[in-house]
A and B are shown apart, each in its own frame.
Chain A
Amino acid sequence: MGLTITEKILARAAGRGAVEPGDILRVKVDLVMGHDVTLPLSILELGRMGAARVFDAGKVVAVSDHFAPASNVKAAEQIKAVRDFARDQGLVHHFEPGCGQSGVCHALLPEEGLILPGYVVVGADSHTTTYGALGAFGTGMGSTDIAAAMALGETWLRVPQSLRLYYHGQPGRWICGKDLILHTLGRLSVAGAIYKAMEFCGPVIEKLAMSDRFTMCNMAVEAGAKNGIIAPDATTEEYLKGRVTGAYEPLTSDSDACYAVTYDFDCQDLEPQVAFPFSPDNVRPVQDAAAVAIDAVIIGSCTNGRLEDLRVAGEILRGRKVARGVRLIVIPATQRTYLEALKEGLLEVFAEAGAAVGTPTCGPCFGGHMGLLAAGERAVSTTNRNFVGRMGHPESQVYLASPAVAAASAVLGRIAHPEEVAD
């Protein structure tokens, strides 16, 4: 019996020839990540564990992205705790806005070349699944688990069953990774992949750009998945070129690998998708949302704050204005993205349109800072969660959508199909 890519990665990290779903393994981790919200707790646990040093100062990554630049004094203290820890431990990779490269962790780490195909990455953040887009195994854990991984350089994992999600057909002009994953969530539900690996494949995935692949693996956790993963190919290689130095051996699933379920998605006539409040699986085609008037539009986050996302938004916003009564907030996910968008003139397009353009941060995505919603306000957001109160007041509402839908909605002041606006 063949193995899936997820099984192969875990078997290798455990030093075993083969594994089966359900096996509990002790695996070596290639990278451990924590951020300004979760890392302070892990630092405390590390102290209680008596771990004077992390296992490898080059493999423990600290990112201040959630509340940074510090939104209040308590946040400033947390960010300082992370900074002090990074300095004391001599961490090679510590990122903070204003100190060189920085940005939202899940956009930043791949961009910095820290994620390689075949890696096992654990992070104190549920969207650590994002790294599966590069053919790595990434999963989120609690702060205590992450502290142990930082101390020992290993963790225990149960091998998940794999779901095979197969996408075919010729998607239309405005369909991107966000639409594919929202559509998938609508079908599987938020409990549809609990404990499982979501393996995205098929002709549509093969043609998908890296940025869209990141978006899909990012939101695998919204179906309850342990990890999302896409087999590395020429697109992956192209992305890694010039970014990574070390050698890697890309793994792919065997043709006779065993899957718990295979889902088939025909993308031929797929419309842009929107997740209505208050769940990422409450998904309908954009036309069903066309009457919804909005107060705010947020473009950014580890889901859709990459350069490609900003380009799509820029294409729609160029020469247009944000509708009266609507505010548009654009937050490039990383410093590099910010700089590229600046050079390409995208930030100018956004500013001309009337948008507030922010420095890279998670900001409003988790209701942290920089553009929260008041009671009764409605927003279209390119982020990944629209739970009650996620982006502000418990009586605010968030509609999740692609950058194209978000930009078009900003122009029309209601949820809109990109073709209503674009040429």
Chain B
Amino acid sequence: MKRLRGKAWRVGDNVDTDQIIAGRYLSLTDPEELGRHCFEGSYPHLAGGFGKGDIIVAGENFGCGSSREHAVIALKALGASCVIARSFARIFFRNCVNLGLLPLECPSGVAGIEAGDELSIDPAEGKVLNLTRGLAFHFGPWPPFLEEILAAGDLTTYVRRQLSQV
């Protein structure tokens, strides 16, 4: 998996999937459109300034609430290269891995990152570098097959490859 680099955007604890993408947008099917409405009610300035590859840095229980896969699709379309959190809600964590958005559980990193910090992430090494503050944090490691899903891009591609091998 390749290195990621981007600016940190901080959000709080218990950010639910309704905050990530509100229920009224669930009929949208265009990812770009979903991305534009990402965090609309809760962090209204985020989508406007968010750069491609930027990184969401969250507190506890990120992505709680419904099982909607739209939340992950919206974050990806927003341009997020990964999400760093103290902890993730269960189905959201699954959906992240399955749809190819890196969920990094890294409590020490969350404590040592401020909004706007430049981050560099080496998924293979399990390392988050805070370039602005000269700090390094560790996460993982991933179990090999989770890494395989992430390396394939998403679960559907991963399964397709597995099936075509047999």
Which residues of chain A have a CB within 8 Å of any CB of chain B? 24, 26, 45, 48-51, 126, 140-145, 147-148, 151-152, 156, 158, 191, 194-195, 224, 226
Contact = CB atoms under 8 A, between A and B. Distances in A.
Contact residues of A: prevailing secondary structure: mixed
A195 B90 contact: yes
Contacts of A144: 69, 95, 98-99, 155-156
30 contacts: A48-B156, A49-B156, A50-B160, A141-B94, A142-B91, A142-B94, A142-B98, A143-B69, A144-B69, A144-B95, A144-B98, A144-B155, A144-B156, A145-B94, A147-B156, A147-B159, A148-B155, A148-B156, A148-B159, A151-B159, A152-B159, A156-B145, A158-B90, A191-B64, A194-B64, A194-B89, A195-B89, A195-B90, A224-B64, A224-B90
Contacts of A151: 159, 163
Contacts of A24: 143, 146
Contacts of B130: none
Contacts of B93: 158
Contacts of A195: 89-90
Contacts of B132: none
A158 B94 CA distance: 10
A261 B4 CA distance: 38
A156 to B, nearest CB: 7
A361 B69 CA distance: 26
Contacts of A226: 90
Contacts of A148: 98, 155-156, 159
B164 interface: yes
Interface of B: 14, 61, 64, 67, 69, 89-91, 93-95, 98-99, 143, 145-146, 155-156, 159-160, 162-164
Given A144-B98, A151-B159, 8 more contacts: A26-B143, A49-B163, A142-B69, A143-B69, A145-B94, A158-B90, A195-B90, A226-B90
B156 A141 contact: no
B149 to A, nearest CB: 8
A26 B160 contact: no
B145 A26 contact: yes
Nearest to A48: B156
Q: Which 3 A/B pairs are nearest by Cβ-Cβ distance?
A: A49-B159, A24-B143, A195-B90
Nearest to A53: B163
Contact of B67 (A141, A156, A194): A141
Nearest to A25: B143
Nearest to A49: B159
Contacts of B160: 48-50
A158 B162 CA distance: 22
A140 B67 contact: yes
A191 B61 contact: yes
A24 B164 CA distance: 25
Contacts of B91: 140-142
Contacts of A143: 69
A169 B117 CA distance: 56
Nearest to B98: A144
Nearest to A144: B98
Contacts of B69: 142-144
A274 to B, nearest CB: 24
Query: Which one of B90, B91, B164 has the highest number of Cβ atoms from chain A below 10 Å of its Cβ?
Result: B90
Given A50-B160, A144-B155, A126 B98 contact: no
Contacts of A224: 64, 89-90
Contacts of B164: 50
A260 B95 CA distance: 25
B116 to A, nearest CB: 30
A392 B55 CA distance: 39
Nearest to B92: A142
A191 B14 contact: yes
B98 A145 contact: yes
Contacts of A152: 159, 162
A147 B146 CA distance: 17
Given A141-B94, A142-B94, A191-B61, A51 B67 contact: no
A145 to B, nearest CB: 6
A381 to B, nearest CB: 20
A51 B159 contact: yes
B166 to A, nearest CB: 10
A142 B155 CA distance: 12
A27 to B, nearest CB: 11
Nearest to A126: B67
Contact of A142 (B61, B89, B95, B159): B95
B147 to A, nearest CB: 11
A156 B146 contact: yes
A48 B157 CA distance: 8
A20 to B, nearest CB: 13
A51 B165 CA distance: 12
Nearest to B94: A145
B11 to A, nearest CB: 17
